Amino acid sequence: MKTKQRFGLIALGLTLSACQFNQSVNKDLITGAYSRGNGIGTSDISIEINGTIDNRNSFIDGEKINLIFNDVTGLNKEDGKAFPGMSMLVVKNATDTILNHTDLFADLKDGTDFSPLMLQANFMAALPHGNNETYKAFLKIWDKKGTGTFEYELPFSVSKNEILEISENHIQYSDIYLWDDTDKLVVVDESLNVKNKFVLILEGLEGFKEVEGKVHPALSIEFTDSKGTPIIRNENILEAYTLEGIDATQFRENQLPITLSFTPGQLNNPFQLKASLSDLNSDSSLYITSELILK
């Protein structure tokens, strides 16, 4: 399997308060997070993981991490408004830069009068994790109308997403994951909301035999309940390309998405998800299985 690097900033948020704050140094003994305020302070820092506050720094591949700086104080005001800056840097194994945003609030030209002020920076922890990689996020808040600063460092690790079992035979991929398209999250838990729409996404597929610049993949999908009743079944989603094939470069560089949606009703849990990707020009194949609970 090729190394993947699906990682990015998702969102920003703000909200203000006023009060002078001098120097402070704090270390979280649970997460190892370190913070230092010099003129700027915050009442507390929360780690929100997939929408839930959870004070941990071991993340599952694909989880959405939201770092929340609550009640930020010490910023100078002009006409009742504060002008914060915030940078984010993420480093792998102490040397490799993974993400570098020099100012998340560069577009906040007119400042903010929200009170109390809450600053947020979000990212998805979808990073290589097969070789005991270590990571650290560095965030800095500063006052664009003064000299105050606040620095925060969070060491973290990433572990395998166990929701899918993948078996490959000469087919390689950069990433395969189940995406909750309703809540906009990578699925890391077996429990699914039956009302939501999900997408099984395959990326960076290689290992197919090319014929005149084209590949001929076949992809089957089956979703059955505990009684063996098929809820979703398609023997070849890519049947339209069986003869003409797909441009090899486009197939390799684009996602292969499979949409899954369900009709609420009697739920015979657990459900079995099975997907099979094969090469019609060779014996190469890839199998995906998962046991899921619909609620």
**Residue 281 clears pLDDT 80, i.e. is over it:** yes
> For position 73, what pLDDT does the model report?
97
pLDDT at 263 (0 to 100): 84
Question: What does the alpha-carbon distance between residue 291 and residue 188 come to, in Å, rounded to a whole number?
Answer: 12
Distance CA 53, CA 66 (A): 9
Please, what is the average pLDDT of the chain?
A: 92
Instruction: Specify the DSSP element, H or E, that contains 124.
Output: strand 119-125
Q: How confident is the model at residue 22 (pLDDT cuts 50, 70, 90)?
A: low
Closest CA to 139 of 154, 118, 124, 159: 154
Residue 295 structure tokens: 């609620």
* Residue 86 exposed, middle or buried by CB count within 10 Å (0-12, 13-18, 19+): buried
Nearest Cα to 60, choosing from 160, 135, 127? 160
3-state class (DSSP) for residue 239: helix
> Position 290: which residue type?
S
Tell me the C-alpha distance between 237 and 228, whole Å.
Answer: 21
User: What pTM, to 2 d.p., does this model score?
Assistant: 0.84
Q: Is the pLDDT of residue 238 over 50?
A: yes
What is the average per-residue pLDDT within 136-154? 98
pLDDT value, residue 29 = 93
Residue 19 has pLDDT above 50, yes or no: no
At residue 238, the 3 state secondary structure works out as coil
pLDDT single digits (tens) 76-85: 999 999 999 9
What's the rounded mean pLDDT across residues 129-137? 94
Residue 21 has pLDDT above 80, yes or no: no
Give residues with Cβ within 8 angstroms of 90, minimum separation 6: 7, 97, 98, 99, 100, 123, 135, 136, 137, 138
Does 294 score more than 90 pLDDT?
A: yes
Q: Domains of the chain (ranges plus CATH)?
A: 9-159 (2.70.50.60), 165-294 (2.70.50.60)
Average confidence (pLDDT) over 204-227: 97
Instruction: Give the count of beta carbons closer than 10 Å to the beta carbon of residue 87.
Output: 18
* pLDDT above 50 for 5: no
Residue 199 to residue 231: CA distance in whole angstroms: 16
Residue 251 pLDDT level (bands cut at 50, 70, 90): very high
Residue 170 backbone dihedrals phi, psi, to 5 degrees? 75, -5
Q: Give CA separation, 70 vs 15, 41, 125, 295, in Å.
A: 9, 9, 22, 34
Determine how β-strand 58-60 pairs with β-strand 149-159. Answer: parallel
State what percent of residues in the chain have pLDDT above 90. Answer: 89
Please give the pLDDT value at position 42.
96
Does pLDDT of 237 surpass 70? yes
Mean pLDDT of 266-293: 97
Count CA within 13 A, CB hemisphere, residue 150. 26
Question: Distance between CA atoms of 171 and 277, rounded to whole angstroms?
Answer: 9
Residue 11 has pLDDT above 90, yes or no: no
